[in-house]
Structure 1
Amino acid sequence: MFSNLALAYMFIYVCLGLIALGIILLFQMKIKHNAEQKQSELYQKKHRDYFMYVQAHLHDDVSLELPPGNLKALERRVIQDKFMEWIEQFKGEAQTKLIGLCKEAGFVELEIRALGSFRYGRRIEAAYRLGGMRAEEAVPALEVLLDRTKYGPSTIIISRAIAKSADRPDQIRAMLSKLLSYEKPIHHMAADILLETRLDSAGLMRKLLDDPNPGLVKVALVAMWGQAVPAVVPALDRLVGSEQKDVRAEAVKLYLSSNPVLKDETIAQLMNDGEWEVRAAAAKALGPLHAAGSIPLLSAALQDENWHVRNNSAESLSLLGEQGFDVLCQAALTRTGAARETALNRIERIMAKESDHEAVDQMVAFNKKKLLYESYFGVQPNKRTVQVARVGGDYTA
């Protein structure tokens, strides 16, 4: 009994000791961090004139001088951080000068050596800093580090560093292939990393669209969103018929977003595709394209088994004037199940926007739909006061 009680007391004392030790370590870390922050601010003030000198001569035809004096480790880090910040901000000759200055100051060499550090965190920090300095000579070492790193946030940091630093297209392709080899749904992340490169993005995307790896093709297609790359648009015609459903779906979305003139047989082919992503993309595009001839196909698509296809079809019908709205009203009255629910939901959303129309043409279009609605469902009492377009001046004299 006594021995058990003594053991319990000993356990409590050990726990209290560990807790006290942890608190002391946390306080030490906090004090150290605060001291480094304060010292960093002092170094920033110390080198303010040098920073102003660099900024003033970035766009001049002169060679920039190295940081003055014998620099301490933290002092070098402060200057390096400032250079990395400017490299992100500037382009062209100014960025090239800053990259060269980082090499001359020894910052790049120091971080390359740190890639072999025993501390994992230091290796990842070095990769991040090398990417920030666009250190093309560090790409081989970064590729080795990427091969040895298990999938996680660190792989994204290393991959982004390679994309920023690479000076050859094959390095970008190898990095993307390694990312996709983890078999994770990261195509959008990979596309974002791809756009970090300093290389010709149009040439890269054109090569990736012709790559035998469908994953790389999809990354290129995703990267094209929001990018004006006319040189690669012709490849979309070929990819729209790809056997890979993911590639075909992305290609169709891009193809339709370019506002093409669609033939009736093309519309029918897209709306009857075996993949719901393709049907949904086609249904969503037909409304903004004002393809009134597609109304029968959109009407049939209200009964599609996929919610996205049904919803996009109803949305496009609502954009196709009175004829499209009439089809929605008929579907709400005569059909059953999901088709009826989808049509009713879209009609309710349209009628709920009665007070949102300010332009005369918008109010006229809404009033026509309102008359159609009342012809099918009757007049709704005490619903809202209908806006009337006022034309002319005040005639009450």
Structure 2
Amino acid sequence: MPSVFDSISQLGPAGLVVEALVATASAIGLLLAFILLRRAIRSRYFRRLNRRTLEIRHNWEKIIGGVILPETWFNDRLTRNIVECMLLDRLEVASAEEIEPLHQCLRFSGLLDARIHEARLWRGWRRRQALLSLGRMRVPEGISALAEALDDPSEEIRVAGIRGLGRVELPKAAEPILEHLTQGQFNVPTSVVQSALLSCFRTQPSLMLPHVHQADDRVRPLLARVLSEVATPGLDGDLLLLTSDPIAEVRASAARALAEAKPPFTLSALTGLAADEEWFVRLRAVIAIGRLHEPRAIPVLLQTLGDRNRHVRLRSAAALVGLDGHEEEVLHLAMQMGDRYALQALVSEMERSGRIPEMVNALRNPERRPLAEAALVAALRGGANRILVDLMLHHSDWRIRGALARLLAGTNDKALLDQLQRHQLDLATPRQQRVVRWLMGQLRSQTTVELCREKVLA
């Protein structure tokens, strides 16, 4: 009896096309069958997962309390994974009172021992998963298994071990990391090590200070950065030694730590760092001084306001502007310096932070008015003519508008006169036009008088 293939072979070249179509249809059919089978299996799995999750939710308190024995669910892989995930998620947000019962459940159920065994025995992605889960448990018993991963030849395993130790969030968990750092055996990203050390010493930053002092020049900058991140007002220890460290990065980190710890010698130490030879050390010192909000730091900040580095000047201006109630004094002293770039940086920062309108409002206060007038004149010299003219024309208080107009009329500022001439036609109301014409007349008359005096002297 002839077969189908014999009939197809008699077709010649057309038979090849038929065979290709049949093969394609068969492949498509098999692919569709695989997709449908996979969807059916996954649908069944998720139904089981949802049903089992609801059962665990209903009996959660009994599982935590040990009323339902672990033997009833531990050997079921799906149930064990659900319970472990729920425990770890709860540990992330649990309060101090809730953490201990959750840890007891991890120990009593055998989940902790199982993860320790997996972290030591398994390889590849399974070991990475076990290390990360062990770190999320935040128990001291897992530190030794996590520390063993630091000697693994795979960088991914070492990174997982470091992250797991950081998740423990205990100073004891940082000891293996510090030991490997000291021995120079680490070949992992610095950011991973720094993040882990931050988590370990966040609650007890004073334990980090001895390690910084004892570390060599290769490791000390990293540890100093960690110390500056975790420093708190209650930090004990001698931070003054770090301000004289030969490594510039350590000195910069010391400035940041001093701003957080605030020991009695903070301002004097930061004053010395503000004159450091490295610009980023001076920058850190200026930022730290600004966070102190100490009026005694005004002379130091005025010196750094004229720094040769632009970033230091801008940060110094921001620190000076942050001293509430001292705007007039700061502007007056900055004008006496005779540094045009320093004055411009200060005035720009005052415009950005809205301090110039506050000084304009001080014109109505008889006690603050003399200093406010001197400060506004200095601001005008520093390039704040646009905002001052805008306040003169649009301020809600007519008394302040008049006082500001009279103040500007006595400045004899040629740049102000040029600006008024350029924008004279843009004024909206007749009142504004009259004020501007009067101010321009006053400025022109003063300019004419000065020209006459120059001719007489000549």
Give the TM-score normalised by the residue count of structure 1. 0.70
Identity among equivalent pairs (%): 20
Query: C-alpha deviations, 1:61-88, integer Å up to 9, x for none?
Result: xx65523625421111111112222333
8 Å Cα contact 1:188-1:223 kept in structure 2: no
How far off its partner does 1:282 sit?
2.6
Question: Over aligned residues, Cα RMSD in angstroms?
Answer: 4.7
Show the counterpart of 2:77.
73
8 Å Cα contact 2:249-2:281 kept in structure 1: no
Query: C-alpha deviations, 1:369-392, integer Å up to 9, x for none?
Result: 5762246446843446335599xx
Aligned residue runs from structure 1 range 218-297, under 5 A: 218=224, 220-225=226-231, 227=232, 230=234, 232-259=235-262, 266=269, 268-287=271-290, 289=292, 291-292=294-295, 294-297=297-300
Q: Secondary structure at the match of 1:115?
A: helix
1:46 aligns with 2:81: no
Aligned residue runs from structure 1 range 1-397, under 5 A: 35-54=44-63, 57=65, 65-67=68-70, 69=72, 71-90=75-94, 94-115=98-119, 120-148=124-152, 150-151=154-155, 155-165=158-168, 169=172, 171-178=173-180, 181-182=186-187, 184-186=189-191, 188-195=194-201, 201-202=204-205, 204-213=207-216, 214-215=220-221, 217-218=223-224, 220-225=226-231, 227=232, 230=234, 232-259=235-262, 266=269, 268-287=271-290, 289=292, 291-292=294-295, 294-318=297-321, 319=323, 320-328=326-334, 334-336=339-341, 339=342, 342-351=345-354, 354=357, 369=372, 372-374=375-377, 376-377=380-381, 380-383=388-391, 385-386=394-395, 388=397
Q: Give the whole-Å Cα distance in 2 for the aligned partners of 1:368 and 1:216.
A: 47
Query: C-alpha deviations, 1:181-207, integer Å up to 9, x for none?
Result: 3374426423333247xxx73563354
Query: Which AA in structure 1 matches 2:332?
Result: D
8 Å Cα contact 2:274-2:285 kept in structure 1: yes
8 Å Cα contact 1:288-1:316 kept in structure 2: yes
- C-alpha distance 281-381 of structure 1, shift in aligned 2 (>3 A): same
Structure 1's unaligned 5+ residue stretches are 1-13, 58-62, 391-397
Q: Give the whole-Å Cα distance in 1 for the aligned partners of 2:346 and 2:222.
A: 39
8 Å Cα contact 1:84-1:132 kept in structure 2: yes
Q: Give the whole-Å Cα distance in 2 for the aligned partners of 1:69 and 1:305.
A: 72
Q: Following TM superposition, where does structure 1 have runs of at least 4 consecutive aligned residues deviating by more than 6 angstroms?
A: 14-31, 355-362, 364-367
Query: Which AA in structure 2 matches 1:40?
Result: L
How far off its partner does 1:353 sit?
6.5
Q: Give the whole-Å Cα distance in 2 for the aligned partners of 1:366 and 1:286.
A: 29
Give the TM-score normalised by the residue count of structure 2. 0.62
8 Å Cα contact 1:311-1:342 kept in structure 2: yes
Q: Give the whole-Å Cα distance in 2 for the aligned partners of 1:33 and 1:369.
A: 74
Query: Which AA in structure 2 matches 1:50?
Result: N
Query: Which AA in structure 2 matches 1:104?
Result: F
Query: C-alpha deviations, 1:116-172, integer Å up to 9, x for none?
Result: 5665221111111112233544433322323225546x6444223224459883x52
How far off its partner does 1:292 sit?
4.5
- C-alpha distance 341-103 of structure 1, shift in aligned 2 (>3 A): same
Q: Secondary structure at the match of 2:328?
A: helix
Q: Secondary structure at the match of 1:47?
A: helix
Q: Give the whole-Å Cα distance in 1 for the aligned partners of 2:262 and 2:254.
A: 13
Q: Give the whole-Å Cα distance in 2 for the aligned partners of 1:164 and 1:150.
A: 20
More displaced stretch, 80-89 vs 19-28: 19-28
Tell me the number of residue pairs that the alignment of Structure 1 and Structure 2 aligns: 362
**Structure with greater proportional helix content:** 2
8 Å Cα contact 2:134-2:142 kept in structure 1: yes
Show the counterpart of 1:60.
none
Q: Give the whole-Å Cα distance in 1 for the aligned partners of 2:223 and 2:331.
A: 39
Q: Give the whole-Å Cα distance in 2 for the aligned partners of 1:20 and 1:255.
A: 71
8 Å Cα contact 1:176-1:216 kept in structure 2: no
8 Å Cα contact 1:295-1:317 kept in structure 2: yes
Q: Give the whole-Å Cα distance in 2 for the aligned partners of 1:247 and 1:278.
A: 9
Q: Give the whole-Å Cα distance in 2 for the aligned partners of 1:341 and 1:140.
A: 59
How far off its partner does 1:306 sit?
2.8
Query: Which AA in structure 2 matches 1:53?
Result: K
Q: Give the whole-Å Cα distance in 2 for the aligned partners of 1:41 and 1:360.
A: 70
Query: C-alpha deviations, 1:297-344, integer Å up to 9, x for none?
Result: 43332332333311111112323431212344567x8535xx465345
Structure 2's unaligned 5+ residue stretches are 1-22, 400-458
8 Å Cα contact 2:119-2:127 kept in structure 1: yes
- C-alpha distance 41-300 of structure 1, shift in aligned 2 (>3 A): same
Q: Which one has a bigger Cα radius of gyration?
A: 2
